[in-house]
């Protein structure tokens, strides 16, 4: 009778730790693909390639143009866009192919991630390698990936009407959603590899874990502000550091009305906000690291804390170099990818501090 009323999972169906590792590995592979897509997305934006494909064809668009006639048809559609008419008028077909391939690879990566996520998910579910309670979360991540594709097209459409560039607000939504998808998969994979569930933590470690979570949120906000910098091309407006053209607080921060409009549309404010968040992390993460030295941590938690500090130095160096050199493509893409690495390390730190 007691056995019949038990809500514990049946021993035969509860995956052993070893059986969770393939599932975690699959999720880490998906995370790696999202990282590649974020970097390629940065290159696509910096090379002004994102508006080269003017249609959203999730299935038919999987294949690129295969004949000269198909290339001419694709190029003819592009020649009707504001970007061609106002920026690239006179572009040759050969030049068009150069920007087409970046956008095509970016979209193909999105489709690849969908397949790499869905097919193993179906296989693991059928083989009962995934706990039943986790399936809704994984299905939710897959659905968020589908929504991300629609957000990407919603973003591209904004640059096909009047202005020859996409909405920077929609760009921020698109990049932010990519980071959320990454976070959901990464956190789930870490949970699968954790040797035990959450335990009763000492107060000092519990406070440290909360601070790590706050760092995750702040880094995510920095990513959104970085997308606004990229979308408004604010990175080309003030190419000095640490001052902004000789000012710590540049004039014109609140030039727009209402005041909150400056956060999204005032180039001076957009870059100032991004710098301000970077300065905040510059002080907070080393402070967090110093605080962690006073707390007894296992090696599994100490490692991500140390790596987080190192990656902060790398990311700040990339950011300053990108700014001073007027946003070269390679550095700009590396800076965007570095933001995801910093975010991943903050997530890893927050997770490791919550588990034995």
110-121 pLDDT tens trace = 999 999 999 999
Give the Cα separation of 49 and 148 in Å (integer): 19
User: Taking a C-beta distance cutoff of 8 angstroms, is the pair 155, 106 a contact?
Assistant: no
Residue 8: pLDDT band with limits 50, 70, 90: very low
Residue 7: pLDDT band with limits 50, 70, 90: very low
Q: What is the pLDDT of residues 61-78, one digit of tens each?
A: 789 999 999 999 999 999
User: Taking a C-beta distance cutoff of 8 angstroms, is the pair 220, 343 a contact?
Assistant: yes
Residues 6+ apart with CB under 8 A from 1: none
Higher-confidence residue: 218 or 20? 218
Residues 6+ apart with CB under 8 A from 128: 13
User: Taking a C-beta distance cutoff of 8 angstroms, is the pair 310, 272 a contact?
Assistant: no
Give the single-character DSSP code of 244: B
Averaged pLDDT for residues 257-285: 95
Higher-confidence residue: 195 or 143? 143
pTM of structure? 0.92
Q: Where are the alpha helices (DSSP H) in 233-298?
A: 261-265, 267-292
For 47, the 3-state DSSP assignment is coil
Token duo for residue 79: 């020649």
Q: What is the pLDDT of residues 184-208, one digit of tens each?
A: 999 999 999 985 455 677 888 989 9
**4 has a pLDDT exceeding 60:** no
User: Taking a C-beta distance cutoff of 8 angstroms, is the pair 244, 272 a contact?
Assistant: yes
B/e letters for 215-229, b = 16+ CB within 10 Å, e = fewer, are bbebbbebbbbbbbb
Average pLDDT, the chain: 91
């Amino acid at each position: 009778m007691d056995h019949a009323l038990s809500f514990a999972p049946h021993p035969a169906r509860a995956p052993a730790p070893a059986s969770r590792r393939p599932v975690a590995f699959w999720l880490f592979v998906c995370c790696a693909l999202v990282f590649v897509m974020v970097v390629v997305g940065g290159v696509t934006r910096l090379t002004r390639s994102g508006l080269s494909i003017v249609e959203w064809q999730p299935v038919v668009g999987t294949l690129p143009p295969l004949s000269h006639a198909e290339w001419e048809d694709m190029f003819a559609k592009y020649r009707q866009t504001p970007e061609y008419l106002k920026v690239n008028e006179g572009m040759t077909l050969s030049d068009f192919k150069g920007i087409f391939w970046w956008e095509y690879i970016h979209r193909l990566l999105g489709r690849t991630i969908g397949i790499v996520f869905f097919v193993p998910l179906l296989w693991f579910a059928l083989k009962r390698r995934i706990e039943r309670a986790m399936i809704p979360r994984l299905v939710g991540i897959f659905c968020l990936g589908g929504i991300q594709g629609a957000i990407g097209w919603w973003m591209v459409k904004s640059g096909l009407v009047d202005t020859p560039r996409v909405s920077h607000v929609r760009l921020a939504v698109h990049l932010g959603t990519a980071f959320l998808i990454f976070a959901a998969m990464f956190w789930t994979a870490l949970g699968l590899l954790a040797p035990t569930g959450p335990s009763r933590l000492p107060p000092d470690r519990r406070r440290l874990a909360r601070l790590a979570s706050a760092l995750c949120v702040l880094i995510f906000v920095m990513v959104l502000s970085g997308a606004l910098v990229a979308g408004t091309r604010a990175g080309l407006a003030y190419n000095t550091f640490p001052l902004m053209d000789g000012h710590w607080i540049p004039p014109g921060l609140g030039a727009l009305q209402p005041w909150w409009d400056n956060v999204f549309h005032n180039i001076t404010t957009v870059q100032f906000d991004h710098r301000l968040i970077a300065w905040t992390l510059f002080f907070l993460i080393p402070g967090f690291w110093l605080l962690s030295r006073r707390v007894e941590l296992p090696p599994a938690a100490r490692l991500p804390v140390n790596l987080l500090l190192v990656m902060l130095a790398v990311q700040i160096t990339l950011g300053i170099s990108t700014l001073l050199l007027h946003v070269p493509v390679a550095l700009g893409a590396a800076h965007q990818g570095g933001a995801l690495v910093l975010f991943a390390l903050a997530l890893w730190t927050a997770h490791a501090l919550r588990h034995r």
